[in-house]
Amino acid sequence: MADQQSTERAKMPKGYNPVLERRTVENANRNLIKYLRPGLSVLDFGCGTGAITRSIADKTGPTGRVLGIDPNESLIEQANQQAGNTAGLAFEQADVYSFDTDERFDLVTCARTLQWLANPEAALQNMKRFVKPGGYLAILDFNHEKIIWTPEPPETMRTFYDAFLKWRQDAGFDNAIADHLQVMMHHIGFELVQVEEQFEIAHRSNPNFAVASRLWAEVAELRGPQLVNAGYISEDLRLQAIIEYDNWIATVGESMTVYLLAVEGQQAV
């Protein structure tokens, strides 16, 4: 289902977790807010350190049931530690292609994870099995080809970013997955599929501009060494991209718009 190269490249490097830990339902998965209420059951595939999963559990409360799934042992370990004894919240180390249970959920969600899978439609097909009749499958993902920086970032960062997309594509990942999800959801049997823009816009006038737009410097810091080792960029280019991009943020950078779509289907009753 997933070859060794795609599994290796999808693996989240250690230290990447601060990026995941900044996320909540409100700031990073707001498409879910309309569903969340006390007592709901939710299955979260590709939960990482479980930051969004915990935020979901805050809203479903002790009478809810929230299960986060991720194949990365160290992320699941952190997720368990941070969850403590929160009632109704659990994590399990498992892969989206092969995960199985007899349990069915009101809401199955998967954010920013299909972008790391070489066979996203097979993953969607497996996820759909766990949605209760009348329940929802809610996917959130990127089209990395549609990012907009104003003004253009430094040449070194553009080169790094293009190499990152090529490195992903060579492993079989779809850089434009957000725009292909609607058709995939139809293929796996959802008749009505709702698509909502969830762009993440960081503008210099927002207090979080530096942190949000720095995402790509963090990718160069944390994922970048994988690209250097695989021969996609030099170490000099990687370091220069970080320095010059940080300078862009501090001086001329005005905004960054990351293209994300929420694509959702309701299970037949």
Ligand X SMILES: C[S@@+](CC[C@H](N)C(=O)[O-])C[C@H]1O[C@@H](n2cnc3c(N)ncnc32)[C@H](O)[C@@H]1O
Task: Give me the residues that bind ligand X (CB under 6 A), please.
Answer: 10, 12, 20, 23, 45-48, 52, 70-72, 75, 95-97, 111-113, 116-117
Looking at the Cβ atoms of 42 and 47, the one nearer to ligand X is: 47
Task: Specify the residue, 113 or 143, whose C-beta has the smaller distance to ligand X.
Answer: 113
Report the C-alpha dihedral over residues 225, 139, 21, 33, rounded to 10 degrees: 160
Residue 218 or 246: which CB sits closer to ligand X? 218
Quote the CA–CA distance of 259 and 36 in Å, as a whole number. Answer: 24
Is 234 exposed, middle or buried (CB count within 10 Å of its CB: 0-12, 13-18, 19+)? Answer: exposed
Count of Cβ atoms closer than 10 Å to residue 59 Cβ? 18
Task: Tell me how far, at minimum, the Cβ of 191 lies from ligand X, in Å.
Answer: 26
Q: How far is the CB of 140 from ligand X (least distance, A)?
A: 7
Are 253 and 213 a contacting pair, CB within 8 Å? yes
Minimum CB distance to ligand X smaller for 119 or for 159: 119
Taking the complex as a whole, how short is the minimal distance between the CB of residue 236 and ligand X, in angstroms? Answer: 27
Nearer to ligand X (CB atom), residue 77 or residue 235: 77
Residue whose CB is less far from ligand X, 45 or 209: 45
Nearest approach in angstroms of CB 264 to ligand X is 15
Choice between 95 and 174, CB closer to ligand X:
95
| Least Cβ distance, residue 151 to ligand X (angstroms) | 27
What's the gap between Cα 215 and its chain centre? Answer: 13
CB of 127 to ligand X, least distance (A): 10
Question: Which of 92, 77, 1 has its CA nearest to residue 46?
Answer: 92
Task: With beta carbons less than 8 A apart as the criterion, state whether 132 and 17 touch.
Answer: no
Give me the least distance between CB of 87 and ligand X, in Å please.
22
| Residue 228: Cβ within 10 Å count | 16
**Is residue 2 a contact partner of residue 219, using CB atoms and an 8 Å limit?**
no
> Which long-range contacts does 238-241 make (Cβ < 8 Å, 24+ apart)?
238/160, 240/156, 241/154, 241/156, 241/157, 241/159, 241/160, 241/217
- Which ranges of the chain does DSSP label H, i.e. alpha helix? 4-10, 17-21, 25-28, 51-60, 73-83, 120-128, 155-170, 181-187, 209-213, 215-222, 224-229, 235-250
